[in-house]
Structure 1
């Protein structure tokens, strides 16, 4: 072999060595980056899991709060709607029909609630909100008694003067 060939071989080996060093450095950099990414993913997974738990806890709490906020409500369905209706009078008619004092209605707030399905032909429900659960019970117990006593003609709009 001549000297020129040896120099070419050495130059080729130096280029190869420099290429391998570059590739080795890139490999080390990518390995470090991968490790950092894996740690970041683990951290995000843990955070995601914690957030899911928190969302479930808050959803459950919201359901309980919504139930608690409605525990003083009485819902009346099937009463025809009128532009000139007085919902307090509807509540008073119910009290008169089941023979209870209309005093329990006085602090109540009566409203029609929005339909869940707008295409439904039934009238919107009436919600009667009272100040206490005790007041609701003072109304619901006589209504239940009335319905048991009149099993074949339970409380309906006919009893309230609607035909």
Structure 2
């Protein structure tokens, strides 16, 4: 009978330890999910901010030896908006989304 009591006490102690560990893991997971949500919102905001000065031009056929800066300047001239090279940080083609 004493052996059975010792065995039950051991199992109970292990069970309580697992319960405590589970409670801790659930709390940690909740914090990580919240932190992940905050970071995802920050990344989205940063991505949006990084596109604040972007201009996307579509429908310009690719030509051999083209210069994207020149295309932008020519389009600016066509609509009566002078574009200087200094006005452009970078200009490049973006692959189409399929």
TM-score by length of 1: 0.56
Residues 1:89 and 2:70 aligned together: yes
**Structure 2 counterpart SS, 1:47:** helix
Cα displacement (A) at 1:83: 3.0
Partner of 1:98: 79
Report the count of equivalent residues.
Answer: 97
Could you tell me how far apart the structure 2 residues matched to 1:31 and 1:71 are?
60
Partner of 2:45: 64
1:1-163 alignment, distance < 5 Å: 20-103=1-84, 105-108=85-88, 109-117=90-98
Structure number with the higher strand fraction is: 1
Q: What residue ranges of structure 1 are gaps of 5+ in the alignment?
A: 1-19, 118-163
Q: What residue ranges of structure 2 are gaps of 5+ in the alignment?
A: none
Could you tell me how far apart the structure 1 residues matched to 2:42 and 2:82 are?
36
Could you tell me how far apart the structure 2 residues matched to 1:67 and 1:115 are?
19
TM-score by length of 2: 0.91
Question: Which is greater in Rg?
Answer: 1
Over aligned residue pairs, what C-alpha RMSD do you find?
1.2
Runs of 4+ deviating beyond 4 Å: none
